[in-house]
Amino acid sequence: MGVIMILYYLICAYILGLLAWDFVREKKSVNDMILYLLVLIPLLLRILRIK
């Protein structure tokens, strides 16, 4: 695995963390909660090395 590939996985994990944190902090809008989760799925699939 190249250095750039490792950096991209780190970026991926960082954005995943931001989205998860936004999801936790969202108190009211169910719509926003769903959107955070939806955006989070492909990042998680990449980190788990599934897609």
Partner 1 sequence: MSREWTIKSALIAIAAVLMILGGAPLYKHRHYEVPVVAGPGVTSVIKLSEFVPSLKGSMADADVFVLEGKEPGGKVLVMANTHANEPAGLLTAVIMIENAVVEKGTLMVIPEFNASAGRNTRPGDGYPLYYDIPTEWGAKRFRMGNRDTSPLDQWPDPDVYIHYPDKQLLSFIDVRNTNRTWPGRPNGPLMEKVTFAAMEMMRKDRLNIAIDMHGAETMFPVTNCIVAPQKSAKIATLVSMTVKAMEGFDNHVEPSPPNFHGLSHREIGDFSDTLPFLLEAPIPFLDQPTGPKTVKLLLDGKDPFLLSLSKKKKLFVPYDENGWPIEKRVGQHCSVALEIIRQYSKKNPDTAIRISGIPRYADLVKNGVGRYFHDPAKAEKKSVYYE
Binding site for partner 1 (CB under 8 A): 2, 4-5, 8, 23, 27, 30, 33-34, 37-38, 40-41, 44-46, 48-51
CB of 37 to partner 1, least distance (A): 4
Distances (CA, A) of 38 to 1, 24, 32, 33, 41: 28, 14, 10, 9, 6
Other beta carbons less than 10 A from residue 16's beta carbon:
17
CB of 17 to partner 1, least distance (A): 16
CB of 31 to partner 1, least distance (A): 11
